Structure 1
Amino acid sequence: MITTDFVAGSPCWLDLGAPDVKAAAEFYRSVFGWEYQPMSPDSDDYGAFRLNGKTVAGLGKLTEEGARPAWMIYFCVPDADAATETVRQSGGMVRVPPMDAGGEGRMAQFTDPQGGQFAVWQPGSTKGVDAVDDTGTLSWTELYTTDMAGAKEFYGNLFGWRTQDVDLPGGGGTYALITPAGQPDERMHGGMMQLPAEHLELTGGKPYWHPVFGSADCDATVEKVQAGGGRVQMGPEDAPDVGRLAVCVDPAGADFVVLTPAPGQQG
């Protein structure tokens, strides 16, 4: 489960890069009930999604040339500069070098050797999001990669993650569960799965991370996604011992998963 004590290597923040901030804010309000609050009253280029008064994610204007609309997942690190050096030494690419975020923390964005994009956050006054592992909040993180062995090695070097392989039902391959270094199995926060490039249509064959958001009713949430102009890539369908889930894409093309956990699975 994801918690808000944000140990090293655990997901602590996520934000959406969107070409139209107002349109994205309206879509996610209609789906999850999130309210968008700009950081500055003079600009809506970046702000926070809030649910029941708690920050659950960020939203910003997509500015990187050639970038696709997507969710970016940030993992907690004690030292963003040291993490950057490890990324370089491990064959990754530094997309955004370490930079201060107004005393709230220090961040950097990377691309892993296989092509998956992610970020790190060194906490300052802001430790991370306020709410997780509940309806309408981040409950899991997932990497689709073309080289699971390579991804395990890279992220193991960077974060010290412990992985545990489980067989997917129906001969669907292997899924690697991710747990932060030194933490018990109850602190699993994500997984990775190997897929051929032709199955990664959203990114033209490149690996990518996406968030999983909790839902009290997956099917009802999927209806809201479609009513808001989004689409469903897969599902809704039942995953044994996991819950009912659907892979969705927002109107701009950013993907996310909606999950209603099986009884006893939500923290």
Structure 2
Amino acid sequence: MRMKFLSAVATAAMLCTLAPAVLAQNVAIVNGKAVPKARVDALAQQLARSGRPVTPEMEGQLKDEVIAREIFIQEAQKQGLDVTDDFKVQLELARQTILIRELFGNYQKANPVTDVEIKAEYDRFAAANGGKEFRARHILVEKEDEAKAIIAQLKKGGKFEEIAKKSSKDPGSGAKGGDLDWAGAGNYVAEFSEALSKLTKGKMTETPVKTQFGYHIIRLDDVRDAQLPKFDEVKPQISQQLQQQKMTKFQEELRAKAKVE
């Protein structure tokens, strides 16, 4: 009898010794079911991956969230919601989404955009958008005779800005007195660009310029060297753009190789 008592005491002592270790692996016991600490770690990792910083102060909130989820899950299972057809369909869709996300994430890790690629893209942008920028105004009308009449009016001392506000059919610039702000010649259609490039500062076109939009009277107010953003200012945007291009190419290659019947 004494031996049985001592054995029971030893067993109880051993369980008491193991209890702290078991509890250290779990954050709580909900209705008799252990909630492992790994769930808190997984939730923290998910937040970190989404860009939200996980601070030590958030540990309690994450623990409460995991416990609440376990409570709700148990109730949903009690109601049999985890065996419905709708749940199975949603679960499969979620599985597909996560797996595809992992595929793309793995590709991005293996194929990062390099600084060399970013700089090369910036240089191409600078080459295409360098040169001169023009500060111009224009008046857009539908008919050539109307444009000629406005040119005659301007030559007699008419105010370009006032006529533009009154007569221009361009809703964007008309209200601003025809002002088109600074832009390279390549920003405009060919006919407009050609006429603009031939003007000297302060001069306007002597004859109407016809484009697909109608007839223009153009005045060049100023010229300057193109003002390009500095490399460091646009580096993040270029990196994102190149990464998206790589991802698009990767997706297109997978589709091209797939045998779809």
Which has more radius of gyration?
2
TM-score range, shorter chain: under 0.3
TM-score (norm 1): 0.19
TM-score, normalised relative to structure 2: 0.19
